[in-house]
Amino acid sequence: MDEKHFRFDFVIAFCALLISGVAAGASAYQTYVIRQQYSATVWPYLNFITSSSTDKFFSLSVNNVGIGPALIRTAIVSRGGTPIRIQANPATNPALFWAIAPDRAAANADERKAHAHGTTSTTVSSIVRGDVIPAGSTLELLRVDGRFLTRRVLADVRRIDLQICYCSLLGTCWTKRLWDPAVEPHLVAGCPET
């Protein structure tokens, strides 16, 4: 009789364990689904916008078309595949400017030539670690107006690249390159420290 009683207790214990395992699994799945839904509400999605008109202007902007802010972790400007290092404050001396005009003497000469060829202007914004691009906003990184400078930039624009690594509020990170043939940003485990 004790044997039957032991088996009955064993069956009850096994059923209780099975039910608690199913409940734990359902709870874990529900948590996963809620996290996925929440991550969709804070999901940033960056893309680059280039605009130009021959002999008039060229502009490069980064646009956050997602529904959450993009937290910038790294932004690397390169020219011909070589990253551009700026020793001074990147906020007042943006690398994107030096990608266009890598030599200060040449940049000054180009500016004098540009003024001789009509009205010109150059607007350059920096993008550095810690910057935030809010959802639905656009940050103009570069704008060149005037025939001489626009021609120079358009002739050399494919040698200049920009790679941005950004994260969502939940810590999911992506990279986006200016001239990457893939349309979507690439999901990465984390952004490199620079």
pLDDT in tens, 23-81: 999 999 988 887 777 766 788 999 999 998 877 899 999 999 999 999 999 999 888 88
Nearest of 59, 64, 66 to residue 164 by alpha carbon: 64
Least confident among 80-94, 136-150, 167-181:
80-94
Tell me whether strands 186-188 and 173-177 are parallel, antiparallel or unpaired. Answer: antiparallel
| Three-class secondary structure of residue 13 per DSSP | helix
pTM: 0.73
Distance CA 174, CA 82 (A): 21
pLDDT at 6 over 80: no
Distance CA 192, CA 194 (A): 6
Edge-to-edge strand ranges of the sheet holding 46-53: 46-53, 57-64, 138-145, 121-124
For residues 175-182, give the mean pLDDT.
92
Confidence category of residue 1, pLDDT binned at 50, 70, 90:
very low
Distance CA 21, CA 106 (A): 71
For residues 106-118, give the mean pLDDT.
60
Distance CA 35, CA 170 (A): 9
CB atoms within 10 A of CB 156: 15
Q: Which residues pair with 174 in a beta bridge?
A: 166, 187
> Which pLDDT score is estimated for 105?
54
